[in-house]
Structure 1
Amino acid sequence: MIRKTLNASQLQQEVNRRLHRLHEIVEDGVKIRVPRPQLQEPDASGCNWDMKHFGNAAGFDRDIAAVLKAVRAEYNLSTETKDTGNPFADFPGD
């Protein structure tokens, strides 16, 4: 399966959305802090990112692992960076 590409914020939001709609998490009223995805070398499946150190997640390890597995199978982290220019570059004509 070809993965879609999302930037770090979009991946973080997607994992957050999926986690917080799980019945067990909704029922317990828990707010899990979802970390930013970290770029890594593609693994055996071809996924190029992972997330570690979820906050307020005690007891939800299996739920988090299941959501991560599903999202990692669907998406890769965008490696493109926006060129915002060098803020310290000389001004043209100086």
Structure 2
Amino acid sequence: MIRKTLNASQLQQEVNRRIHRLQEVVDDGVKIRVPRPQLQEPDKTGCNWTMKNFGNAAGFERDIAGVLEAMRAEYNLGGEAKDKTNPFDNFPDNG
């Protein structure tokens, strides 16, 4: 399956939405803090991102892992390539 590409904010929002729609999370009324996805070298499945250090997630680790597994199979991280050039290169030298 070819993965769709989302930027970090979109991935974070979609993981957040899916976690907070899980019945166990809804029933407990807990608010889990979802971290931003981190770019990594593609793993053996071809996924190029990971998420670690969810907040207020005690007891929901298995549920979160299930959401992440599904999301990592569907999406890759893209659209936020860092520009390595100096943003001030076009300003005149004051020296």
List per-residue Cα deviations over 1:30-68 (Å, max 9, x = no partner). Answer: 000000000111111100000000000000000000000
Deviation at 1:90, TM superposition (A): 3.6
The alignment partner of 1:55 has SS state of coil
Query: Within 5 Å, which residues of 2 pair with 1:1-80?
Result: 1-78=1-78, 80=80
Alpha-carbon distance in 2 for matches of 1:51, 1:80: 16
The alignment partner of 1:88 has SS state of coil
The alignment partner of 2:81 has SS state of coil
Deviation at 1:71, TM superposition (A): 0.3
Query: Within 5 Å, which residues of 2 pair with 1:74-93?
Result: 74-78=74-78, 80-81=80-81, 86-91=86-91
Report the number of matched residues. Answer: 92
Q: What stretches of structure 1 of length at least 5 have no aligned partner?
A: none
CA distance 1:82–1:38, change in 2 (3 Å) = closer
Deviation at 1:80, TM superposition (A): 4.6
Question: Cα RMSD between the aligned structures?
Answer: 1.8
Question: What amino acid maps onto 1:68 in structure 2?
Answer: L
TM-score, with normalisation over the residues of structure 1?
0.88
Question: What amino acid maps onto 2:76 in structure 1?
Answer: N
TM-score, with normalisation over the residues of structure 2?
0.88
Question: What amino acid maps onto 1:8 in structure 2?
Answer: A
